[in-house]
Amino acid sequence: MDFMSNYNLWLEKAVEDEDLIKELKSIEGDEKEIYERFYRSLEFGTAGLRGVIGAGTNRMNIYVVRQATQGLANYVLKKYGKGAVAISHDSRIKADLFMNEAARVLAANGIKVYITTELQPTPVLSYLVRYFKCQAGIMVTASHNPAKYNGYKAYGEDGCQMTDVAAGAVYDEICDIDIFNDVKTMDLFEAIDKGLVEYVTENVYTSYLEEVKKQQVNEGVCKGADLKVVYTPLNGCGNKLVRRILKEIGVEDVTIVKEQELPDGNFTTCPYPNPEIKEALQKGLELCEKVKPDLLLATDPDADRVGIAVKDYDGSYRLITGNEDGVMLTDYILSNRKANGTLPEKPVVVKTIVTSKLVEKLCEKYGAELRNVLTGFKYIGEVILGLEKNGEENRYMFGFEESYGYLSGTYVRDKDAVVASMLICEMAATFKKQGKTLAQVIDGLYEEFGYYMNKTFSYEFDGAEGMQKMADIMSSLRENAPAEIAGNKVVKTADYKLSVEKDLVTGEEKEINLPKSNVLQYNLENEHMVIVRPSGTEPKIKLYLTAVGNDKDDASNIIEQLKTSTENILGI
């Protein structure tokens, strides 16, 4: 069906949402606007669905959500015969509506639904899947995207985001469903009366926090440490549980950024509610100048990631990167568990391929096994699952990715800003009692191992033309592989789509035993590295650069050279 026919069908059939009716009528006769909404359907992948809220097959709306949920229902029933699904949502616009619509579809298919009474962090959804022994889970969120976006993350029975195989099976089901005629629904109140939909009670959240508290490394260290914290939930869903866990471990002095305290899907104070971006933390940094805390915590809208700023030597506040925070937490967990006798034999640390290589040095120091996985926390979850199947889950110490996602413990299978906030405060309290700041801690690690600088750059390619441009860039890079970047010879390449790693010095080739992914990696002389990959959730190509310098200025200069050279190679 062509895009105009699809548009006319929606004019006729999409009559249950006033916002969609108005939008469809407002673009009548505007072929470009109609094309953008109908030239494709949002594709269901390992990250579920994500798109701009609005009318059309290429937008997030009740009809697209219903169709995806019917596909998920078909998948669950075919695989398990019957099933249960947990659903939650964050503060996004229409997030509660989409959650309820998904519940209505599942209930109509005879699938039991456990649903939250209010917004909850993404890791809580992962916990609910495991707690209720569900066959799947749905989290309505677009994570850190701008306000115009919403999304739909799908989880498997292990509490991980769906793998490629499962997501592919669900997508196949979705493709066979007519969006208006093949979706079953039932009244939500009827579903509740029949016991098909059940609301999650407070005791379940308490049990989740008890699991979080078990991840403490130095229990009780925050009491009497006089730790001072500024916290912002960035108008998301971390407010209640983050504040609660900090209070329970003894962090009493917590000042909240008032403008960002309550849920607000419009994100009026930070258009990009992403802790990776300085502007998102601006309100918190302004409050730090008044309150003078030891550190600033900022959780993203669905509270699975956390960014921090720490007091620097001159009293100003230094932003800590996701890599730096992960490196400090890895060092803190391994060193303290070793000191207090709780480090198991053959401890395991997991990181993604785009995350700091400095972790390798820490694992060597403490005798830990480091496992590298593809970008996406589900791959860290798969490592945990593998350890669990072998009865070795106690070996898992910590997993993280450079984009501020961290997890200690195996009680959930996704990154968790609640446990990360707790551990960051515990780490800060431990060092404060030793007379050290976190700024001194990370600088000390650089002095010991070298200055590892990691920078990520994103290049947007909006619309249909943008998607083709991204594909052309990746194809060209494969066909014309660079021999050097910024004057540094390429010594090793890895193509994760072709599953081949080549050592250009020895000529040796070996297979990469990871799922196929459209990622190209170039290892350079002097431990520098360049990785190029299209985003799995946004119309962007991402560039991950690693430079190892003598100090910050040296590393920064190398990063700029790598960036300029790579941009020229990509034609960006």
Four-point Cα dihedral 326, 330, 333, 335, nearest 10: -140
Residue ranges, comma separated, of all CATH 3.40.120.10 domains in the chain are 3-208, 223-445
pLDDT confidence of residue 515: 87
pLDDT confidence of residue 381: 94
Parallel/antiparallel/unpaired status of strands 369-373 and 348-352: parallel
Q: How many angstroms separate the CA atoms of 543 and 474, rounded?
A: 12
* Domain formed by 223-445, architecture: 3-Layer(aba) Sandwich (3.40)
- Residues in the chain, how many? 572
464 Cβ contact list (under 8 Å, min separation 6): 35, 36, 39, 40
Checking if the pLDDT of 271 tops 90, the result is no
**Selection from 467, 480, 475 nearest residue 535 by Cα:** 467
Four-point Cα dihedral 46, 52, 53, 56, nearest 10: -90
Checking if the pLDDT of 231 tops 70, the result is yes
At 382-437, the pLDDT tens digits run 999 999 999 999 999 999 999 999 999 999 999 999 999 999 999 999 999 999 99
Give the confidence band of 537 by pLDDT, cuts at 50, 70, 90. Answer: low
Any idea which residues carry the catalytic annotation?
143
Question: How distant is the alpha carbon of residue 407 from its chain centre?
Answer: 11
At 90-137, the pLDDT tens digits run 999 999 999 999 999 999 999 999 999 999 999 999 999 999 999 999
Q: How many angstroms separate the CA atoms of 524 and 531, rounded?
A: 11
- Asked if residues 300 and 274 have their Cβ atoms less than 8 Å apart, the reply is yes
Parallel/antiparallel/unpaired status of strands 369-373 and 520-524: unpaired
Average pLDDT over residues 344-363: 96
> 352 forms bridges with which residues in the sheet?
373
Terminal CA-CA length for the chain: 34
Q: How many angstroms separate the CA atoms of 215 and 422, rounded?
A: 9
Average per-residue pLDDT for the chain: 95
**Selection from 201, 196, 15, 176 nearest residue 102 by Cα:** 196
Checking if the pLDDT of 2 tops 70, the result is yes
> 530 forms bridges with which residues in the sheet?
522, 545
At 175-190, the pLDDT tens digits run 999 999 999 999 999 9
Q: How many angstroms separate the CA atoms of 551 and 21, rounded?
A: 58
Residue ranges, comma separated, of all CATH 3.30.310.50 domains in the chain are 451-570
pLDDT confidence of residue 496: 94
pLDDT confidence of residue 47: 82
pLDDT confidence of residue 548: 95
Class of CATH domain 3-208: alpha beta
Checking if the pLDDT of 230 tops 70, the result is yes
Average pLDDT over residues 306-317: 96
pTM of the full predicted structure? 0.93
CATH of domain 451-570: 3.30.310.50
Q: How many angstroms separate the CA atoms of 264 and 92, rounded?
A: 7
Q: How many angstroms separate the CA atoms of 186 and 264, rounded?
A: 29
Q: How many angstroms separate the CA atoms of 418 and 348, rounded?
A: 21
The maximal CA–CA distance of the chain, rounded, in angstroms, is 71
Question: How distant is the alpha carbon of residue 390 from its chain centre?
Answer: 27
Q: How many angstroms separate the CA atoms of 352 and 381, rounded?
A: 12
- Backbone angle region of 433, left / alpha / beta, with phi > 0 → left and psi within -120 to 50 → alpha: alpha
**Selection from 356, 273, 271, 278 nearest residue 319 by Cα:** 278
61 Cβ contact list (under 8 Å, min separation 6): 14, 17, 20, 53, 54, 55
Least confident stretch, 245-249, 333-337, 465-469: 465-469
Average pLDDT over residues 548-572: 95
Give the confidence band of 465 by pLDDT, cuts at 50, 70, 90. Answer: confident
Q: How many angstroms separate the CA atoms of 500 and 166, rounded?
A: 24
Helix (H, G, I), strand (E, B) or coil at 236: coil
Question: How distant is the alpha carbon of residue 51 from its chain centre?
Answer: 16
Q: How many angstroms separate the CA atoms of 436 and 117, rounded?
A: 42
pLDDT confidence of residue 99: 98
Give the confidence band of 467 by pLDDT, cuts at 50, 70, 90. Answer: confident
Q: What percent of the chain lies above the pLDDT cut of 70?
A: 99
pLDDT confidence of residue 536: 66
